[in-house]
A and B are shown apart, each in its own frame.
Chain A
Amino acid sequence: MFFIITAFAAIITTIIWYVKAPGDKYRLSLLVFIFWGATLMWFVDHVMAYFIEGGEFFEINLDATILGISTTIIGLLIWMIALLVSDPKGIWKRVLKQRQSA
């Protein structure tokens, strides 16, 4: 289930990135790469596990669903930190200037 949720997140972020392209002010391409990287790796993991161990291809249960949601949150968190560090709107500079002038 976490594979499906991450793949879904990858597709949605790719569509949003494409709509906003060629501008990438908020580094949406980073989020696209994060989700696609994980999706591709889990795809290989699922395929190999299916052929080696057998059983179901998709693990559909509550634990896998919560894990999928959690990994999506982790992906968003990494992107958010990268966004705040790079600060494309210059918010930190403006806040610091405001505090200095106050």
Chain B
Amino acid sequence: MACFIAPMTQAIITTVIQKSIEKKEKVSGIDQSRKPRISWSRKLGWLNKLLWGGVALLAFEHLWHGEIVPWPPFLTAMENPTDIGPMLMEIATIGVAMAVFVTFVWWVIVLIADAKVKSIPRIKGSSTSEGVA
């Protein structure tokens, strides 16, 4: 019905946090650090891309199935009062589970990436690994 609302809410919050951390890192000059590490703004960027990418494709799927419409109230379940309860239940169960699972997978990616970066021998002048924006 509208399960993607939960990961979308998380994506909005994590995007705000990422932008805030990015500003702080620029001010503190973390990019100039010679320690081989991946910045938190970059790590949160991966989570945001996972969340927003998933939300975009899920929103399209909901549009395909007629569960969302491009006009108010946007969610077709909102038109019928008896559908509101199950819709909220779906957001609270499947939606939250989606957000938790994506965050767990991201956390595993971060752990692996950190371990990989730590295993790289220190090279003068290098700061972070390249490849994933």
Contacts and interface: CB of A to CB of B under 8 A. Distances in A.
Q: Which of B53, B56, B101 has the most CB of A within 10 A?
A: B53
Contacts, number: 94
A34 B98 contact: no
Q: What is the interface residue range for chain B against chain A? A: 20 to 34
Contact of A27 (B50, B51, B133): B133
Nearest to B130: A22
A29 B133 contact: yes
Nearest to A47: B97
B61 A37 contact: no
B7 interface: yes
Q: What is the interface residue range for chain A against chain B? A: 20 to 34
A87 interface: no
Contacts of A21: 131
A75 B49 CA distance: 12
A37 B106 CA distance: 10
Given A40-B102, A48-B94, A71 B57 contact: yes
A99 B50 CA distance: 39
Contact of A40 (B4, B52, B105, B133): B105
Contacts of A40: 50, 54, 98, 101-102, 105
B19 to A, nearest CB: 17
The 3 closest A-B pairs by CB, nearest first: A37-B54, A34-B53, A33-B49
23 contacts: A22-B131, A23-B130, A23-B131, A27-B133, A29-B133, A33-B49, A34-B49, A34-B52, A34-B54, A34-B57, A37-B102, A38-B57, A41-B7, A41-B55, A41-B101, A42-B58, A44-B98, A48-B97, A70-B60, A71-B60, A71-B61, A74-B56, A74-B57
Interface of B: 3-4, 7, 46, 49-58, 60-61, 64, 93-94, 97-98, 101-102, 105, 129-133
